[in-house]
Chain A
């Protein structure tokens, strides 16, 4: 059974930093392209970014609002995905989901972790 479990959310002041983690199991993590998706309170889904598998080059891509502030990384030995968030803004307040998707109908999401950016 595929499981994605996010952790690390919480309250942080504007300008601060936070690191989210996603513990993955039930699939071959090292072969997977992993992504983060967020949802601000009462708003729609927003793709944050992704990291390719190392065999596909391991490159990262980011949505414009977070580019240069957020960094996605992976530890294949620990089957863990991370999201380092720096220079946080109030508009980064959201539930952050870890997601794995592949060709066809393969699509799994974690339960989400809430990040609140407020003074």
Chain B
């Protein structure tokens, strides 16, 4: 199985800061990576698909990059409503799906 190593596990930042989360796959997954946002008591929400594509309706301050084994998720200017836990997830129709451990984002 492919392991996804996500870091950091928690992050505290100020409104307006740039925030970056990384995710490393244990083997090459090409661009088969999603990024999700989850708020307490809610189902996860897809933000980024195919590593770098912004889902329609998601604010442009969110972005993703990377391919192969190393991926990055960024928020260019943190807003109060961005407080949530973020997860990466690899997908490959030939492989089992796995999620990263999650990054809990808090306002400083």
Per-residue contact bits, chain B 26-67, to A (CB 8 Å; 1 contact, 0 not)? 000000001010100001101001100101100000000000
Task: State how many angstroms separate the Cβ of B78 from the closest Cβ of chain A.
Answer: 21
Which residue in chain B gives the minimum CB-CB distance to A52? Answer: B93
Q: Of A18-26, A71-79, A104-112, which stretch is located at the interface? A: A104-112
B98: chain A residues at CB < 8 Å are: 47
For B49, the closest partner residue in chain A by CB is A105
Please determine whether B1 and A35 come into contact, CB atoms closer than 8 angstroms: no
Q: Which of B1, B91, B102 contacts A45 (CB 8 A)?
A: B102
CB contacts (< 8 Å) of B44 on chain A: these are 45, 109
Contact A47–B34 (Cβ < 8 Å): no
Do B56 and A111 touch across chains, with their CB atoms under 8 A apart?
no
Q: Tell me, in angstroms, the Cα distance from A50 to B95 when the chains sit together.
A: 11
Complex formed: what's the CA distance from A44 to B98 in Å? 11
Contact A112 B43, beta carbon cutoff 8 Å:
yes
Which of A64, A101, A105 interacts with B91 by CB under 8 Å?
Answer: A101
Contacts of A91 in B (CB 8 A): none
Interfacial chain A residues near B87, Cβ < 8 Å: 44-45
Chain B: minimal CB distance from A26 (Å):
16
Inter-subunit contact B43/A109 (CB<8 Å): yes
> Please, which residues of chain B bring their CB within 8 A of the CB of A63?
96
Interface check B99, CB cutoff 8 A: yes
Q: A111 to chain B: which residues have CB within 8 Å?
A: 43
CB-CB < 8 A to B91: which residues of A? Answer: 101
5 A/B residue pairs, CB under 8 Å, sorted by A: A44-B99, A50-B97, A105-B56, A107-B46, A109-B44
Other A-B pairs, 7, CB within 8 Å; known A107-B46, A111-B43, A112-B43: A44-B87, A44-B99, A45-B36, A45-B87, A47-B99, A104-B49, A104-B50
List 10 A-B pairs, minimum CB-CB distance, nearest first: A109-B43, A107-B46, A44-B102, A47-B97, A105-B55, A45-B99, A105-B49, A44-B101, A45-B87, A97-B43
Q: Which residues of A contact B (CB under 8 A)?
A: 33, 35, 44-47, 50, 61, 63-64, 97, 101, 104-105, 107, 109-112
